[in-house]
Amino acid sequence: MNRRDFIASSAALAGTAYSAHAMLKPANQPANQTANQPAPAAPSQAATPKTGRLKHSVCQWCFGSMPLDELAKNAAAMGIQSVELLMPEQWGTLKPYGLTCAVAGFVHNNRIHSGWNRVENHDAIIKDMEYRLPQCKAAGIPNQIVFSGNRDGMNDLEGLKNCAKGLKRLTPLAEQLGVTLVMELLNSKRDHKDYMCDRTPWGVNLVKEVGSPRFKLLYDIYHMQIMEGDVIATILENYDYIAHYHTAGVPGRREIDEKQELNYRAICTALADKGFQGYFAQEFMPVRDPMASLKQSIEICTV
């Protein structure tokens, strides 16, 4: 199941869930411990996990078999600051764990395949966004995801002009509320056939055309490795046009471990060295123990 299918079904069942990982308990003090050997810390004294120079997030849909509150609890224990792509009905679940939702989930009339590249969609999307963006502002949600839509025979230049036309109608409200619209770069080779915003240059040109500090790109590293490669250089060259990042292992969208081709520690180091202040989100589909895999991914990305 891909994200489009999962989120589409979960939107109708808002408030459903994801997964988690129990906090480690300190070992019992050994019988032969001497006076100069410190006793293990009690759970209440356990150190906060160190997550380095980046703010970490995780996408809920990848852990869809686990309750959201359980995922939030365990994410917080790992030092993750956000669980994202949630609907407004779900945001409150994060509060007891001190988490935010770095990116709000899609609105009804702007799905991956049907988006801003068609003028006839603009009124309905803007109506949805005029309701959603004030919700984001009130809840402190920094970003709202948007999609270009599929080509369906439309050329890329026309699609770019259409996207810009519609987004320019919405960015004044986004600027007023301080919420950033982020259009996701997705691959059209394997996962999202015919999707228009499938290459960094096209997305960057759209950001330039819209000309608002509240419209930027969501750079999905997995998707852009499939479409372009040259990830670190591309990120650094287009750093000012990107507000958010997603991960997954290539090939297969699995764990970001040593079995796949991307060097996520190097990618994270490059971002941290640039002083990136946004969120860096895990969006892989685990094949092993989900929370062990999530914990490993945070360790890899802690720089």
Give the rounded percent of residues in the chain with a pLDDT score beyond 70: 84
Whether the predicted pLDDT of 38 surpasses 70: no
Q: How confident is the model at residue 50 (pLDDT cuts 50, 70, 90)?
A: confident
Across 6-15, 68-77, 262-271, 282-291, least confident range: 6-15
User: What is the rounded average pLDDT for all residues in the chain?
Assistant: 88
Angle between helices 156-177 and 122-139 (to 10 degrees): 30
Give the angle 240-166-207 at the CA atoms, nearest 5°: 15
Q: What are the φ and ψ backbone dihedral angles of 188, each rounded to 5 degrees?
A: -105, 5
Confidence (pLDDT) at 33: 36
CA distance 99 to 257: 25
The whole-number average pLDDT for the span 143-151 is: 98
pLDDT at 36 over 80: no
- Closest Cα partner for 116 from 190, 193, 67, 170? 170
User: How far are the Cα atoms of 20, 114, 143, 180 from residue 47, in angstroms, in the given order?
Assistant: 19, 46, 30, 33
pLDDT in tens, 103-145: 999 999 999 999 999 999 999 999 999 999 999 999 999 999 9
Residue 215: strand pairing partners: 181
CB atoms within 10 A of CB 97: 16
d(CA 17, CA 65): 7
CATH T-level fold of 3-13+48-300:
TIM Barrel (3.20.20)
